[in-house]
Chain A
Amino acid sequence: MAMAIRSFLICLFILSLTVPTFSLHEDQVGLMDWHQKYIGKVKHAVFQTQKTGRKRVLVSTEENVIASLDLRHGEIFWRHVLGANDAIDGIDTAMTKYAITLSSGGSILRAWNLPDGQMVWECFLQGPSDSKSLLFVPTSSKVDKDNTILVFGKGSLHAVSSIHGEIVWKIDFPSESFEVQEVIQHHDGNTIYVVGFVGSSQFDVYQINAKNGELLKHNSAAIDGGFSGEVSLVSTAKLVVLDAARSTLLTISFQRGEISFQKTYISDLVEDFSGMAVILPSKLTGLFAVKTSTATAFISVSSEGKLEVVDKIMHPTFISNALSISEDQQAFALVWHGDNDIHLNVKQVHDWNSDLLKERIKLDQQRGLVHKVFINNYVRTDKSHGFRALIVMEDHSLLLLQQGKVVWSREDGLASIIGVATSELPVEKEGVSVAKVELNLFEWLKGHMLKVKGSLMLASAEDVAAIQGMRLKSSEKSKMIRDHNGFRKLLIVLTKSGKLFALHTGDGQIVWSLLLNSLRQTEACENPTGINVFQWQVPHHHAMDENPSVLVVGRCGTGTDALGIFSYIDTYTGKELKSFGLDHSVAQVIPLPLTDSTEQLLHLLIDANGQAHLYPRAPEAVSIFQRELSNIYWYSVEADKGLIKGHGLKSNCAGEVADNYCFGTREVWSIVFPSESEKIISTVTRKSNEVVHTQAKVIADQDVMYKYISKNLLFVATVSPKASGDIGSATPGESQLVVYVIDTVTGRILHRMTHHGSQGPVHAVFSENWIVYHYFNLRAHRYEMTVIEIYDQSRADNKDVLKLVLGKHNLSSPVSSYSRPEVTTKSQSYYFTHSIKAIAVTSTAKGITSRHLLIGTIGDQVLAMDKRFFDPRRSVNPTQSEKEEGILPLTDSLPIIPQSYVTHSLKVEGLRGIVTVPAKLESNTLVFTYGVDLFFTRLAPSRTYDSLTEDFSYALLLITIVALVVAIFVTWVLSEKKDLSDKWSKASPPKVCKIYLLPRMKMTDTVTVIWLIFLESLSHSSPSQGQSREHLCAASLPEAISSMTLFPLSPIIENSLTTTSMPQKKHRRSLAQHNFLPEENTNPWVSP
């Protein structure tokens, strides 16, 4: 058995000796992988519908994406993902051909060409201080006139030429904390007003010459009540703010620089007002909206400054900015929810009662509240105005509404995934009909015939296209039932918006989605956030009829001491089974390797006070947990204190109320890092569900090394505090990187290594007994990757074959960290070209297949690298046996093979995480990469050694077998026929070539038995092989006997042989010569 396995492994190894690439052929793209492009939650939108041609909308999002979308279908025309630190503050269009973006806190201004998204120019703005930023593009009637773009950012106001992006002028405001709220252009176009606040009680107006930036006038006034929040500009010289208490409206008018205030109590306007009010940010002439706890009030402002409530809407309401539909007409959209429908009203700004549009739109699925509205108009064929509205929903999806319908929708919540779990699909049951998705036999055969044609190079171009289409559309991969190989699964992803999606791994379709009510804003829970999604119930053995479920953990608020939220979701149906708020905070979620009778996984939640809470809350779970209580530990990493603490569990909680499901903790160990020299920047541990096939590593010359495989190991990287900033912020002399491998049960440090002159960020991955981490080497000015492998020295002497055969070894006895096993580590470093964003390792069902590192590069691609490149036993000149083992010669840098990018030509924009899930088939692993985009593929790190490839032609095999069987049958029939005809044609007695008379033959009186041996055939079987024919004859005597014929000799002799003369002497001599049988030549008894 061992031999078989070994030879199998050796064969595997030989296969793997070939250069490990996973390159796809061009026609294989999209067969196993899918790629979805998203943009994220839209912040700003600018429509471009003036020109003829395709109607577009320019959007910027919270994922720092600027994109141009097709208004007809919602597809992306072009898209740019700015860096994670390059948040977009504003977008606009200039000169109708450029898209202008202001980003990075008002310090970078860029212009993009609208049709194709090429960057035209970029301008860096500098200023004295960080501040709110504002982009203002003055409207101009003339198309190609060089407008200046006004940008407030970093505390100063810049005027930038929109053609070349040069700074025309710049003003620093005298007061450093001046926050610009609005920039207003005067009608004449030469003067601009800049209004803003200093601190929370002073209002300032600056009058500036638009041509040269000369400061014309400065007025300021103190507001005694203070102010807060949003500003609504109701005319070119008037704006409305709320006071600090949010109960009084302040109307500030600054006509020609003169500032005057007017106070109005909200309670005077709105009856039964209490609490706080919020101004909905808008720019409507003479109108603004105030949201109170009960309703949204629309208040008109007359030119004299008189406020008057025009309407109140009791439902949650959102308004858009004003849209000029003609010279003197402005419209705005009003969206409110009622009866589960969305009501969209478009009204004229000046005339509240005029509804330009009133629509009621039914949404097919729950998307929560509307968060933003953008409207655009078009002229209908009857010259009337039509409106389309782009709405951003609570689940971050983007919808285009037109004529009372949802024209298209984009699930852009998927751009901000915060957690991924997987779930199996339902097994095929009798009731589940899959027949309708199957092709009928004829089509199946036709498809396979096409494939055969393709593989025999007979296919025409049309056929090739048909084959490709068939492969891509294969209904097989998107079926809703579990498959034999485990390729079809559900990816359960939790997004930032609190929506849970189930994606099918076959084609990426959304199987179901659910906006979690428990993660929506309520009065009890003001600001709920999702933390992560965990496997909750994974039925596979005795709870087969239960549906699997996942657990979503969230919390009310952002701090670690906010109370937790639990929600269980059935992954087959997408329904929330149960959800409840916890009475404690959530600092850690520890899935335990224990399950109860219904296969629910036990989870331990650690709260901010260090107490452990057991879930599910059931007596059975407690009894299971109590048995293992003394062996369960947890550790906490406090990066700001430079502290890692290990904790054990106590059987009861310290709280006043007796709680069976609460467990106290005791500190077992702690490691304090010196704060002046080390700061924790990264910790990595092994995935708890990782499967390792063997504990032994066979090295050259059949030697064995025992891996130290423990799930309780923690990799910690610390840098000197000076070097914790960006690369280049510290000199090589003052920066160092220290890595530790710590046993988290005992707190024992197994390994410590210092990299002088190196700094973070550190990306690391921990698998089996090895760690690979990536950091920057300041001395070499290059990125480096280091591998650490940990081996168990205490088992190293298990080398006696006999004892191993008899099973007399301790290799399979349970290991305790308290036995302090002696370990050795090996490590080696290599240069690496790329800066990386994420790193992961492939995982397979049994852990037999070799592992690959999946490196998310800075270019948003995923690179697969064989673990063999990260082997501390690599040397410059490996010996023959090491080469046979597969050790590559040492090179100082790691090679990047372009074909081993698993994302091939695609980019996963804004890549944040890589998740690998084992398939049921050992050779395959599923890789899901997420960021702004999603990418999924299937990898076979050691090739598919356990299955035929996807494009294997079964039809060709079948046809070959059938053809062979037919050929065999036909030839058999033919040969039978030929035999028969031969027999008939040789009806005359067969030609007897030789007749031997055996010496010791019995002759009776009446019949002489003569053995007729048809030696001809026998002698032909070994022509002239040097063996004497007598020998052959003797050796095949039994055969001869079976083929002999009996002849009564007397007639023959009488009739024909009596006259034959026979040289007797010669015969005798020959007999004497051979002693056994007569030589053939001497035998004259040859029948004619």
Chain B
Amino acid sequence: MDKGKAVMGSGRRWAVDFTDNSTLPSSRDIPDPPGFSRASQEQDDSAVAKQKKDAEANWKAQKAWEVAQAPFKNLLMMGFMMWMAGNTVHLFSIGITFSALWQPIGALQGVGKVFEPYKDSKVDLLVPKLVFIALNLGGLALGIWKLNTLGLLPTHASDWVSSLPPAKEVEYSRGGFPLL
């Protein structure tokens, strides 16, 4: 990693042009590397390219859906763990609850990144994203619900008055038996 950075940092020594010009006829003085078959590419033509692109798009969509549905498994597992942890406040239940809260939040923050590899003009990522977000929100809700069942959310009157100091008294009265 450092090496790469060092190279990049010392100045632009090279550039990668991602425009696909492999189909263009190129000079034949350099033999193709093994595994690279220009002939096949040339052969496949546009139909093959299209087919390939479709396949790729399908694959991406499929993957995107997989990724989108991944939190569901998580959700089930979280639910199971929460059920196992019980309703009393102790180290495990707090740990599980907080991880159940952090995981969806982290996932929601990185929702763009998760779907980055599947970005394709042909693939509609919105629905998988929404599903992903919904499932994660579900996880978050589950965590909050757990937090509440643990009694850690200030949803009761007792949470707001428990540290309220006693009201001041207007009058002051003392006395007792005559001192002996």
Contacts and interface: CB of A to CB of B under 8 A. Distances in A.
Interface of A: 2-3, 5-7, 9-11, 14, 531-532, 560, 586-593, 606, 608, 628, 631-637, 639, 646, 683, 685, 688, 692-696, 698, 702-704, 706-707, 709-712, 744-745, 798-801, 804-805, 809, 811-818, 884, 997, 999-1003, 1005, 1008-1010, 1031, 1034-1035, 1039, 1041-1046, 1049-1050, 1053, 1057-1058, 1060, 1062, 1064, 1067-1068, 1075-1076, 1078, 1082-1085
Contacts of A704: 156-158, 161-162
Contacts of A707: 166
Contact of B167 (A5, A812, A999, A1064): A812
B156 A688 contact: no
B151 A1084 contact: no
B120 to A, nearest CB: 12
A11 B90 CA distance: 8
Given A14-B89, A1049-B33, A9 B172 contact: no
Contacts of B151: 6, 10, 702
B160 A631 contact: no
B30 interface: yes
Contacts of A1034: 117
Contacts of A608: 178
Query: 10 closest Cβ contacts across the A-B interface?
Result: A1042-B4, A702-B156, A804-B160, A635-B175, A633-B173, A1062-B34, A698-B158, A696-B161, A816-B170, A695-B166
Contact of A560 (B164, B175, B179): B179
Contacts of A586: 179
How big is the B interface, by class?
35 or more
Interface string B39-74: 010000000000010011001000100000000000
A11 B173 CA distance: 38
6 contacts: A9-B162, A10-B151, A14-B90, A633-B173, A817-B171, A1002-B16
B11 interface: no
B166 A692 contact: yes
A679 to B, nearest CB: 13
Contacts of A696: 158, 161-162, 164
B172 A592 contact: yes
A1050 B33 CA distance: 10
Contact of A588 (B1, B52, B63, B175): B175
Interface in B131-180: 151-180
A608 B178 CA distance: 8
A712 B33 contact: no
Contacts of B1: 1039, 1042-1043
A815 B155 contact: no
B111 to A, nearest CB: 15
B167 A695 contact: yes
Contacts of A5: 162-163
A805 B103 CA distance: 29
A712 B160 contact: no
Contacts, number: 236
B35 interface: yes
A300 to B, nearest CB: 45
Contact of A805 (B34, B160, B177, B178): B160
A1057 B33 contact: yes
A593 B165 contact: no
B1 to A, nearest CB: 5
B175 A815 contact: no
A1060 B168 CA distance: 95
A532 B33 contact: no
B159 A560 contact: no
Nearest to A10: B89
B165 A695 contact: yes
A879 to B, nearest CB: 14
B35 A812 contact: no
Contacts of A1076: 56, 59
A809 B27 CA distance: 86
Given A3-B159, A1046-B14, 13 more contacts: A2-B163, A6-B154, A6-B162, A9-B162, A635-B173, A635-B176, A692-B166, A694-B165, A696-B161, A744-B174, A801-B159, A809-B161, A1053-B33
Contacts of B88: 884
A769 B159 CA distance: 20
Contacts of A1003: 22, 26, 30
Nearest to B114: A1035
Contacts of A812: 164-165, 167
B18 interface: yes
B31 interface: yes
A1075 B55 CA distance: 7
B30 A1008 contact: yes
A588 B170 contact: no
B37 interface: yes
Nearest to B33: A997
Contact of A712 (B152, B171, B180): B171
Contacts of B177: 637, 639, 683
A1053 B30 contact: yes
A696 B159 CA distance: 10
Nearest to A711: B169
B52 A1075 contact: yes
A801 B155 contact: yes
A893 B31 CA distance: 100
A1083 B35 contact: yes
Contacts of A3: 152-154, 159
Contacts of B16: 1002, 1009
Interface in B104-140: 117
B59 A636 contact: no
B168 A814 contact: yes
Given A2-B159, A801-B155, A812-B164, A1057 B34 contact: yes
Nearest to B172: A632
A14 B31 CA distance: 76
Contacts of B12: none
B21 interface: yes
Contacts of A1058: 31
A1075 B56 CA distance: 6
A829 to B, nearest CB: 26
B97 to A, nearest CB: 11
Contacts of A631: 170-172
A706 B164 CA distance: 10
A712 B157 contact: no
Contact of A634 (B5, B20, B174): B174
A696 B158 CA distance: 8
A502 to B, nearest CB: 23
A1005 B154 contact: no
B23 to A, nearest CB: 10
B172 A588 contact: no
Interface string B88-103: 1110000000000000
Interface string B6-29: 010000001011111110001101
Contacts of B40: 1064, 1068
Contacts of B80: none
Nearest to A1037: B117
Contacts of B160: 2, 801, 804-805
A5 B164 CA distance: 12
Contacts of B19: 1002
Contacts of A1000: 18, 20, 22
A1035 B17 CA distance: 20
B163 A694 contact: yes
Nearest to B17: A1002
Contacts of B63: 1031
Contact of B152 (A6, A590, A1010): A6
B34 A798 contact: no
Given A593-B172, A646-B173, A694-B162, A999 B22 contact: yes
